[in-house]
Amino acid sequence: MLKPSLLTAALLAVSAGAHAQELNIYSARHYQTDELLYKGFTDQTGIKINRIEAGDAALVERLKSEGAKSPADVILMVDAARLWRAEADGLFQPVSSKILAERIPANLQGGEPGKDPQWFGFSTRARVIVYNKATVNPADVDTYEKLADPKNKGKVCTRSGSHPYMLSLLGSLIERNGEAAAEKWARGMVANMARNPQGGDTDQIKGVASGECGVALTNNYYYVRMARSDKPEDKAAIAKIGFLWPDQAGQGVHMNVAGGAVARHAPHKEAAVKFLEYLASDKAQNYFAAGNNEWPAVRSVKSDNAALEALGAFKAESVSIGAIGRNQVTAQKILDRTGYR
């Protein structure tokens, strides 16, 4: 018969083992393909997944309010600016993983330079340019820099300057060209606005199609969604606009990520790391990317999304996603100084 102390230890070990067969995910993603992701992980490991889905901002506030008592193990978010902000708020922890280090490109890993990464991009999206084919010469708008050229005065439409997509793009331009050039670009953009920054990316596309805007910025998947739509109004809009990969003769199109991290107070850290490693697997990569018409982050994995392939090959920037995140404070100051609302 086990002595009381040994029995207690045995019961605690069994309890800990059972507890480790769960994983709590806080996710800003809500795609049908994620069900296949979660099922695949559970089938492979036997670990049950519990999840909470909300917007990035709501998840961050929840994590802050829960503090050290948070049950969150894995955090999934959908923009480098948001991921960096959560890192800066101390909501993630460093991850040492040979699998992630080998499979996720170094420029798609975020965290403090010289230390183990705190977050990883698992899919990528491009910030592309759409233009009105009847009124705009594509050669005049085929780089981000040209959008700020005086020749495009009264033609440009974008989201708000405070939106994470804009912060991430400007963060990239700061890294690529320097702060002074980035500020000059922002001033040129403000001078060229067809209307005050407003709405989402779909609104920018529709504005170009209606003729209110000559040219606009959008993430690739908003364009793909409209191109795949069966709605007559969407088909009519797409017929009026052209699509461009920016900066193909230069540093390449700006790329952002959807990514994940291990929560700072994760009660099941080992299982959390195992889940991130699973997201980097060939099968999971296509599931993760397919949910939002994005590309796998792992370079050896080829997208099987026909709609994306129809957009053609392109040159992507190699800027560090971590640097893009760190630059967002400077980016916001530039946008404020230039009146980019």
Binding-site residue ranges for Fe cation: 30, 221-222
CB atoms within 10 A of CB 129: 24
Among the listed residues 196, 207, 200, the one whose alpha carbon sits nearest the alpha carbon of residue 136? 207
Contact status, residue 338 vs residue 183, Cβ threshold 8 Å: yes
Quote the crossing angle between the two packed helices 269-279 and 282-290, to the nearest 10°: 80
What is the C-alpha to C-alpha distance for residues 221 and 201, in angstroms, rounded to an integer?
10
Residue 207 tokens, joined: 């504005």
Annotated binding residues, written as ranges, equal: 30, 221-222
**Cα 89 to Cα 37, 92, 109, 146, distances in angstroms:** 28, 8, 17, 36
What is the C-alpha to C-alpha distance for residues 121 and 109, in angstroms, rounded to an integer?
6
For the chain, the distance separating the N- and C-terminal CA atoms, rounded to the nearest angstrom, is 73
What is the C-alpha to C-alpha distance for residues 96 and 93, in angstroms, rounded to an integer?
10
